[in-house]
Amino acid sequence: MAVSVMTGSRSVATAVKLAKPEVIAAYPVTPQTEIVEDIATFIKNKELNAKFIKVDSEHSAMSALIGASSAGARTFTATASQGLMYMAEVVHWAAHARLPIVMAVATRALASPWSILNDHTDFLVQHSSGWIQIMCENNQEALDTTLQAFKIAEKREVMLPVMVGLDGFILTHTSMPVDVPDPDLIDSFLGKRMAPFALDPDNPLTFGNVVDDKYFMEMRYKMFESMQNAKRVIKEVSEAYAKLTGRSYGLVECYQCDDAEHVIVTMGAASGDAKVAASMLRKEGIKAGVLRLRVIRPFPKEDIVEALANRKTVSIVERDLSAGIGNILAHEIKSALYDAGAKVFVKSFIAGLGGRDILPEDFVNAVKSAASGKKGDEWIRLNLG
Amino acid sequence: MADVNEEVYVIPEIDTKGLEKEFPLSKPGFGAGGKTNEWRLLRPVINYEKCIKCLICWIDCPEATITRGKDNSVAINYDYCKGCGVCANECPTKAIEMVKED
Amino acid sequence: MLLRDVKFEEKWLPGNAACPGCGLSLGLRLLTKAIEKPVVVIPASCASVVQGAWPKSSASFPLLNIAMAGAGAAASGIANAYEMLGKEGTVVAWAGDGGTADIGLQALSGAAERGENIIFVMYDNEAYMNTGIQRSSSTPHGAWTTTTPEGKREFKKDVAAIMLVHNLEYVATASVSYPVDFIEKLKKAEAHKGTKFIQLYSPCPPGWRLDASKTIEVGKLAVETGAWILYEYENGKLTISPISSRFREKKARRPLIDYLSLQGRFAGISQQDIAELEAEIDRKWEFLLKFE
């Protein structure tokens, strides 16, 4: 146990150092750059024994890791925004190929126009890629989740890559106290990767040749099953990690939820502001709570329904946009509640795009708007002038 | 005359424990592209009296369906030969004739 | 090396899905005769489908399929992983002209610049054949393809020449029509460090409108007319291969029409285009001979 004050980038890089991947391949893109710079420094200082392939593009980064992971190595990369989109073809490939790659995504708004500031659209639009997706609230969680990601991904009943999201600049470039677990503890927690299949001249297998319509669906079904297994595995890995470190994480986090009548649903660093807002609302006599979405895929349907079904209102505040429908997760949440027959008033709020802050007052106003029964999606603090 | 030398084909026994039903993996085997012998319109027939064992047909066959014996004799593997005719075209003594398939 | 010395074993298995007379099928077969433990990466290309369909594969060697742009990168990943894990094998990227010269050029150049320990073979059938014979930057001037029905206006991109200035220990051109030469070049490449590049002339009967039995013959004509130049660049020294060396003098070369007339893709070629092709041949020789 050693507490350091470090940025989210360094927290992720430190987790990578502890996880001991054999091959890292990455291309710089703001605001992920400090993650890969730290990794290069760790390697130079012999704190990490790994190959860091300084590839020619993000597509090459993921392609390189598909190669390395197929060869049996533990692998890592990091990216953001444009880089994630450029890589997208092989992001999907990696999941369908069932390779336990771990990737950190420093969330950032997508162009056009250019913005290097934070929003979650980049992370969320990859939600059908087949990757397990976990979004962190703070730097401690970023370190812990990155470590756990390797274990979750490599489990035989999962064998799916994991995307760890952390808010660009808000977390990546902000320093917080982070407890760094002892390397020996992590060695026993993770161990070496034991690949069930790998490129091997003595056992020559072909990876990924044509599967026709007679079995393609079955292959996808196997992935679907593994995603279902992941819900259980994520919890098991969290428990094992909690035994070592005292810190435990679920698929979601419920804050002041027990008697809450009005729940704010949000994701990432702004969850902290939402928690402050919940306390502010309680001072006014409004029983508010926060449901923080942590695991996006596999979609924690049961946990969400349990947390939201019997409330008066649900205010979903997201910093992403799927133009033509609104927020991305809100629709998944609404459909989960519909399936469960829940009759709760759900309101969707679009906020924080392109780096705009979401303040506690914004969450307070959102809850009040929902509580007033006002229907329709709302955009928070739009300055159309 | 010469027989197909089946020993030249290297296909190790791989126990995949059913992994190929779960992951996109395939094992080496003959006929991964189907019964390619059925593609033939013509089949190569070697006249062994003209054959000088130069091995040119053997090296030029794109399909590995001309096998080489220990004595450098060659034989056509009709199970998969596609009948492309490269062997007949390249044979320096015109020992191979492309004959119509029945 | 003598033909007799080429090994007996076959690791590229019969019954693959390649067209009869396919140059790339022969190329892969020859690869397995040259390299003891190949670990092969194949990006989207004809090679992706000639392996056949799951649950079988015609490859009796470890093979990773990858997206079209990713051959150079995926091969880099395997090479690095193998080194870290202490595994033995020679990593070979086996990409078509499309997956090398066009969509794959960035990843190839990147791998070469980083000195990744891979052999990159560009099997050149001079068009995007797998998707139905569309032009690539490697399609020759005047050739018919489905996207250049008038005959390609542009000239062939010279990828081997591009690789010559990547500071590599070994760059070569080869042809499936000269199998022993190709095998020798692969063995030489394997003995070198960093990225090794070989551009392999690989005829395509359907795409070139060529009789399937003429795959080897057309390749020999390519060399004898000077249209395809076999050479090696090793440790800073460029050598025209002995097979091509006979054709360094223009007067020693057969008339280009002998090569073109075998291929239906040049059936509609104009006299003007033929003259331009001949001039291009002269320019290529002149360029290479400067470095010899």
Residue B100, domain extent: 37-102
Q: What is the 3-state secondary structure (H, E, C) of chain A?
A: CEEEEEEHHHHHHHHHHHHCCCEEECCCCCCCHHHHHHHHHHHHCCCCCCEEECCCCHHHHHHHHHHHHHCCCCEEEEECHHHHHHHHHHHHHHHHCCCCCEEEEEECCCCCCCCCCCCCHHHHCCCCCCCEEEECCCHHHHHHHHHHHHHHHHCCCCCCCEEEEEECCCCCCCEEEEEECCHHHHHHHHCCCCCCCCCCCCCCCEECCECCCCCHHHHHHHHHHHHHHHHHHHHHHHHHHHHHHCCCCCCEEEECCCCCCEEEEEECCHHHHHHHHHHHHHHCCCCEEEEEECEEECCCHHHHHHHHCCCCEEEEEECCCECCCECHHHHHHHHHHHHCCCCCEEEEEECCHHHCCCCHHHHHHHHHHHHCCCCCCEECCCCCC
CATH at residue B89:
3.30.70.20
pLDDT of residue A1: 65
- Token pair of C102, please? 């066009």
Question: Which among B22, B25, B32 has the least Cβ separation from residue A205?
Answer: B25
Query: How does pLDDT run across C237-272, given as a tens digit for each residue?
Result: 999 999 999 999 999 999 999 999 999 999 999 999
- Token pair of C123, please? 């099997």
The CA distance from C36 to the nearest CA of chain A, in Å, is 9
Element (H, E) at C181: helix C179-190
Residues of chain C in contact with residue B29, where contact means CB-CB under 8 angstroms, are 13, 56-58
- Provide the residue ranges of all domains of chain C, joining segments of one domain with +: 17-291
CB–CB of B30 and C53 under 8 A?
Answer: no
Percent of chain C with pLDDT over 70: 100
Chain Cα centroid distance, residue B47: 17
Hey, CA dihedral for A333, A337, A338, A344, is it positive or negative? negative
CB–CB of B26 and A209 under 8 A?
Answer: yes
Q: Flag whether B24 is in a domain.
A: no
Q: Flag whether B3 is in a domain.
A: no
The CA distance from B50 to the nearest CA of chain C, in Å, is 19
Nearest residue on chain B to C13, alpha-carbon basis = B30
pLDDT of residue C271: 97
Q: What does the alpha-carbon distance between residue A116 and residue A82 come to, in Å, rounded to a whole number?
A: 10
Q: Residue C65 forms beta bridges with which residues?
A: C42
Q: Please list, residue by residue across A99-136, b when 16 or more beta carbons sit within 10 angstroms of its beta carbon and e when fewer do.
A: bbbbbbbbbbbbeeeebbbbbbbbbbbbbebbbbbbbb
Interface pTM, i.e. ipTM: 0.97
Compute CA distances A21 → A16, A17, A57, A102, A193, whole Å.
7, 8, 20, 10, 9
Element (H, E) at B100: strand B96-100
Say yes or no: do domains A2-245 and A252-379 share a fold: yes
CB–CB of B59 and C213 under 8 A?
Answer: no
Q: Name which of A199, A202, A211, A220 to mutate to probe chain C: the one with the most chain C Cβ atoms within 10 A of its Cβ.
A: A199
The pLDDT confidence band at residue B1, using thresholds 50, 70 and 90, is: confident
Query: Could you tell me which CATH class the domain A2-245 is placed in?
Result: alpha beta
Q: What does the alpha-carbon distance between residue B92 and residue C3 come to, in Å, rounded to a whole number?
A: 15
Helix (H, G, I), strand (E, B) or coil at C55: coil
Residues of chain B in contact with residue A207, where contact means CB-CB under 8 angstroms, are 24-25
Q: What does the alpha-carbon distance between residue C63 and residue A201 come to, in Å, rounded to a whole number?
A: 9
Helix (H, G, I), strand (E, B) or coil at C13: coil
Query: Which residues in chain B (2-61) have CB-CB distances under 8 A to chain A?
Result: 12, 14, 16, 19, 21-28, 32
Compute CA distances A73 → A14, A38, A54, A198, whole Å.
19, 21, 17, 9
Which residues of chain A register pLDDT less than 70?
1
CB burial of residue A246 (10 Å; 0-12, 13-18, 19+)? exposed
Which CATH number is C17-291 given?
3.40.50.970
pLDDT of residue A142: 98
Percent of chain C with pLDDT over 90: 100
Helix (H, G, I), strand (E, B) or coil at B50: coil
Hey, CA dihedral for C73, C74, C77, C78, is it positive or negative? negative
Question: Which among B12, B21, B32 has the least Cβ separation from residue A204?
Answer: B12
Q: Which residues contact A224 (CB under 8 A, 6 or more apart)?
A: none
Q: Which CATH number fits domain A252-379: 3.40.50.1980, 3.40.50.150, 2.40.30.10, 3.40.50.920?
A: 3.40.50.920
Strand C231-234, strand C170-175: pairing: antiparallel
10 Å Cβ neighbour count for A382? 11
- Provide the residue ranges of all domains of chain A, joining segments of one domain with +: 2-245, 252-379
Q: What does the alpha-carbon distance between residue C224 and residue C219 come to, in Å, rounded to a whole number?
A: 9
Q: Flag whether B80 is in a domain.
A: yes
Residues of chain A in contact with residue C60, where contact means CB-CB under 8 angstroms, are 204
The CA distance from A99 to the nearest CA of chain B, in Å, is 10
Question: Which among B39, B56, B64 has the least Cβ separation from residue C13?
Answer: B64
Hey, CA dihedral for C267, C269, C275, C277, is it positive or negative? negative
**B67 pLDDT exceeds 90?**
yes
Mean local confidence (pLDDT), C280-288 = 97
Strand A288-293, strand B74-76: pairing: unpaired
Q: Name which of C5, C7, C16 to mutate to probe chain B: the one with the most chain B Cβ atoms within 10 A of its Cβ.
A: C16
Q: What does the alpha-carbon distance between residue C1 and residue C263 come to, in Å, rounded to a whole number?
A: 31
Question: Which residue from A320, A297, A3 is spatially nearest to A140, judged by alpha carbons?
Answer: A3
CB–CB of A51 and C37 under 8 A?
Answer: no
- How many domains, in total, are found in chain B? 1
Residues of chain C in contact with residue B98, where contact means CB-CB under 8 angstroms, are 213
Helix (H, G, I), strand (E, B) or coil at C214: helix
The CA distance from A129 to the nearest CA of chain B, in Å, is 16
CB burial of residue A217 (10 Å; 0-12, 13-18, 19+)? exposed
Query: How does pLDDT run across C175-222, given as a tens digit for each residue?
Result: 999 999 999 999 999 999 999 999 999 999 999 999 999 999 999 999
Strand A75-79, strand A378-379: pairing: unpaired
Nearest residue on chain A to B10, alpha-carbon basis = A204
Which chains sit next to A, with 3 or more Cβ pairs under 8 A? B, C
Q: Are B73 and B2 in contact (CB under 8 A)?
A: yes
pLDDT of residue A385: 78
Q: Flag whether B8 is in a domain.
A: no
